[in-house]
Structure formats: structure tokens, C-alpha cells
């Protein structure tokens, strides 16, 4: 491990193909960058709390990433355009802008309880994405209870995504969230505000499952 100090930056150091920054105040370690020639699985060492924007962007030969429990924040575009095939994310409140956009080999994503939002284009053009959920055997998209908002184009052009089970806590499905996706069935939240083109060109969508509403709330 080699390190050097940059004025006001803390210590920068490298481990293999990964470049980190260690902040002197608070002792936080931040993953800044992965070299583009990295291959196969990348293991992020314990103690890293944050992954910077674009850290693995366009790392075409990186197929999986292993996270320590210490990671609590992953910035925009961190894995966009990379070669990852599956992703087991740490506990996050938000999946940020274009986090995995254009990951052509990404088939499955596991998330943790406590996720409340998926930002714009987070999984746009993940063309073979089949599952995203808390459980390893999740079929399709199954978001945890407490989840609130799907950003614009969040799952646009996810051709292999067939089912979306959205909890009743969802309040917003924004513009083009599932546009051009392969959705066949959606479990629809009762109080969600739906943006323009949210399901545009979902040509296979044939079943919308509505929540059971007590008769008195329907005025009957």
C-alpha cells in the first residue's frame, strides 16, 4: 500500500486496482476510482464508507463487486456501463442517479430493507435485468415496504423485467419510469402519483393488480 498527502485532501492510497482517500477527520475511507483494466470480482476492503461518483464507470471486465458493511453511501454513476452481472448492495436509503445505467450484463440486484427511493435512470438500459429485491429468489421487481419513489426512467428499456410488485408505501412513479420495459404484470400502489409516459411502450403489459380497498372507502 502506497500513500501520499494532498493539501486538504487527506491521504490518497492504492490497493491493487483501487484508489482510496482517507480523511484525517473522522477516519472515513472513500473509494475514489477503480482502474479500467480491473478484471473479475472486486472486493472492497472493510472500513470504506463511501464510493465516489463514477468509481467503476465503464469497467467492462469487472463482473461483480463485494461490499463491506461499512459502506453507507454510493454516489451517482458508480457502476454505469460496467460489466457487473449481479450486485448485492449494502444498506442504502437511495439508489442514486444512473447508478447502474447501461450495465448490459446485469441480471440481478439485491437491496436491503430501508431503501426509500431509486433515482432517475438508475437502471436505464439494463437490458437483461430480471430481478431486484431483498430476497435472493425475488422474481421481477419487489421493493421493500417503506419504499416511496421511483425516479424518471428508473427502469427504462429493462426488457427482461417482467413483474413489478410495488408496496402501498409508494407515492410517486415518475416520468417514463418503466418506459420500453418488458413488464407483463404490475402490482399497483393505491396512492401513487404516476408521471407521464411511466408505462409507455410496455407492449407486454396485460395485468394490473389493484390493492384491495375496503368497500366503505369506495363509497359503497
In a domain, 106, yes or no: yes
Question: Any idea what the CATH number is for the domain that residue 203 is in?
Answer: 3.80.10
In a domain, 11, yes or no: no
From 206, 165, 213, select the one nearest 182 (Cα to Cα). Answer: 206
Domain holding 217, by residue range, is 85-220
What is the predicted pLDDT for the residue at 216?
Answer: 43
Residue pLDDT, tens place only, 27-71 = 678 999 999 999 999 999 998 999 999 999 999 999 999 999 999
| % of the chain at pLDDT higher than 90 | 80
In a domain, 50, yes or no: no
Question: How many structural domains is the chain composed of?
Answer: 1
DSSP string over 119-133:
-TTTTTT-TT--EEE
In a domain, 53, yes or no: no
In a domain, 60, yes or no: no
In a domain, 168, yes or no: yes
Residue pLDDT, tens place only, 103-149 = 999 999 999 999 999 999 999 999 999 999 999 899 999 999 999 99
Give the C-alpha separation, 155 to 166, whole Å. 13
What is the pTM (predicted TM-score) of this model? 0.90
In a domain, 202, yes or no: yes
In a domain, 143, yes or no: yes
Amino acid at each position: 500500500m502506497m500513500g501520499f498527502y494532498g493539501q486538504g485532501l487527506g491521504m490518497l492510497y492504492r490497493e491493487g486496482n483501487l484508489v482510496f482517500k482517507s480523511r484525517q477527520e473522522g477516519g472515513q475511507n472513500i473509494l475514489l476510482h477503480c482502474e479500467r483494466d480491473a478484471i473479475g470480482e472486486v472486493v472492497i476492503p472493510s472500513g470504506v464508507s463511501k464510493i465516489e461518483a463514477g468509481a467503476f464507470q465503464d469497467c467492462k471486465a469487472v463482473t461483480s463487486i463485494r461490499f463491506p458493511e461499512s459502506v453507507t453511501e454510493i454516489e451517482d454513476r458508480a457502476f454505469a456501463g460496467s460489466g457487473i452481472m449481479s450486485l448485492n448492495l449494502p444498506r442504502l436509503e437511495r439508489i442514486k442517479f444512473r447508478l447502474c445505467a447501461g450495465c448490459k450484463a446485469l441480471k440481478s440486484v439485491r437491496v436491503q430493507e430501508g431503501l426509500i427511493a431509486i433515482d432517475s435512470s438508475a437502471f436505464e438500459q439494463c437490458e437483461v435485468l430480471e430481478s431486484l429485491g431483498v430476497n435472493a429468489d425475488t422474481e421481477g421487481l419487489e421493493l421493500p415496504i417503506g419504499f416511496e419513489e421511483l425516479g424518471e426512467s428508473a427502469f427504462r428499456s429493462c426488457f427482461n423485467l417482467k413483474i413489478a410488485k410495488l408496496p402501498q408505501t409508494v407515492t410517486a412513479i415518475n416520468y417514463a419510469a418503466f418506459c420500453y420495459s418488458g413488464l407483463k404484470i404490475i402490482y399497483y400502489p393505491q396512492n401513487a402519483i404516476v408521471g407521464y409516459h411511466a408505462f409507455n411502450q410496455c407492449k407486454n403489459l396485460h395485468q394490473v393488480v389493484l390493492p384491495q380497498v375496503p368497500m366503505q372507502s369506495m363509497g359503497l
